[in-house]
Amino acid sequence: MGHQARERVRQEILAEVGPAVDTLVEAVRRDVPAYRALDGSRLPEVRAIATWVLTRSLELWVGGGDFTPAELARFRAIGAARAADGRPLPAVLRAYRVAATALLDHLSAHTADLLEVQDVLALTRLWLSGLDALSESLYAGYSAAAERLSGDRNRALRDLLDDLLAGRHSSAGAVADRTARLGVRLPDPYCLLVAEPDPGRPAAPEATAAATAAALAAALADGLAEPESGTLLMTTRGPRAVLLLPARTADALPAALAAHHWRGCAITGEPAEQIPTAHRLAADALDTAPAHAYGTDALLRDADAYVLALLGARPTAAPDRVAQAVLGPLLRPDRRHLAEALDAYLDTGSATAAADVLHLHPQTLRYRLRRIRELTGRDPRRPWQRLTLDIARNLTARRPV
């Protein structure tokens, strides 16, 4: 078959290019899982690339030659775009091989009476040499973009948390779209940790402290991240580290903070749409908490933050949240006897006097106080925790005994 006959086949295919492109795209989606999973919004781009590659391949088949430097640059750009999409490079390269086979099958099925063996061989040779060149370009573009995006992605994740902390998203849908583009899932339920260096240790310049904050955040991310619970996000605010992490990891925070000689405040009780409030609560708590509020584990929690916001008349103060955060399980009707024991102890100042008020044996009263510590995590014998318990019980609707 000569030049004119190949041109006739080219014109026939391009006259009804839609079915030919459909054949290529359907073959790729059938044989390459990464393309099968694409949603409808991505298919027009796949079809556009398939149309261009098909058209150009037929032109080279008819007129001879190779892909031009400009065309190879376009393939590099396509490779970079696939890296940004997160599509695996092996899947991208395989898609072109599958499309090449599908094109040969399509030509054989629809122009069998026009094709000769040498024509099929010529197209095969074109695809073999073309695939080699375009694969190199795709690989180069993909690799360069992936290397760049590895740094850009870290910045993008920090920017995401910065915007969440500032409340810059207009809706939950906007957050969902952004996290989908980044390929992350926000922790739900979440814990928001704000941490800073222990002020009892020598002060470091802000730049050094910020670097240390980033290192702490990275260490916590390595030690606490649980992908099935959501992606751990981190950023810094001057010398402070801010982490958004799965709520189930909160129990591991005291040990992690102690290992780095830091202290912090962890908020777990705010809903997802109130991340800015959680951040303000935690940051304000670190600003205002007395030294003895930290106890032995260097970590403030929701109850501490709510009480501190109330005492400081902060905009985040929520009296209705204080009782629930501090007393929690004691508010259940079947634990009223524990609430009464707490009231008596706080009113009298000793277990013996409280037992007398309630007509109980002192050992029974001490047992109830131990249960209170177990249920609330608060020890009424410690000054700060006693204060939080006293404030919370006076904010409840129940009558003191």
Number of other CB atoms surrounding residue 55 within 10 Å? 15
* CATH for 22: 1.10.490.10
Strand, coil or helix: 273: helix
- Which range of residues forms the domain containing residue 392? 325-401
Q: Can you tell me the distance from the alpha carbon of 133 to that of 74, in angstroms, rounded to the nearest whole number?
A: 12
Q: Which tokens go with 103?
A: 């094109």
Same domain, residue pair 119 and 88: yes
Measured in degrees and rounded to the nearest 5, phi and psi for residue 246 equal -60, 140
Same domain, residue pair 62 and 32: yes
Task: Kindly report the length of the chain.
Answer: 401
- Residue 145, strand partner residues: none
* CATH for 369: 1.10.10.2840
Q: Can you tell me the distance from the alpha carbon of 135 to that of 133, in angstroms, rounded to the nearest whole number?
A: 5
Q: Can you tell me the distance from the alpha carbon of 110 to that of 143, in angstroms, rounded to the nearest whole number?
A: 38
Q: Can you tell me the distance from the alpha carbon of 333 to that of 365, in angstroms, rounded to the nearest whole number?
A: 18
Element (H, E) at 155: helix 117-166
* CATH for 254: 3.30.70
Identify whether 160 is part of a domain: no
Identify whether 378 is part of a domain: yes
- pTM for the model: 0.60
Q: Can you tell me the distance from the alpha carbon of 370 to that of 379, in angstroms, rounded to the nearest whole number?
A: 8
Strand, coil or helix: 302: helix
Given 317, 346, 369, the domain boundary residue is 317
pLDDT tens for the chain, residues 1 to 401: 566 677 877 888 888 888 888 888 999 999 888 888 776 777 888 889 989 988 888 888 777 888 889 989 999 999 988 887 777 888 888 998 898 888 878 777 766 666 677 777 777 787 778 888 888 999 999 888 877 766 677 788 888 899 899 887 656 777 787 787 788 888 888 999 999 988 877 665 666 666 666 666 666 666 554 455 677 888 888 888 899 988 888 888 888 888 778 899 999 978 888 899 999 999 999 999 998 998 788 899 999 999 999 998 888 787 888 888 888 888 898 999 999 999 999 989 899 999 999 999 999 999 999 999 999 888 999 999 999 999 999 888 544 44
Same domain, residue pair 343 and 296: no
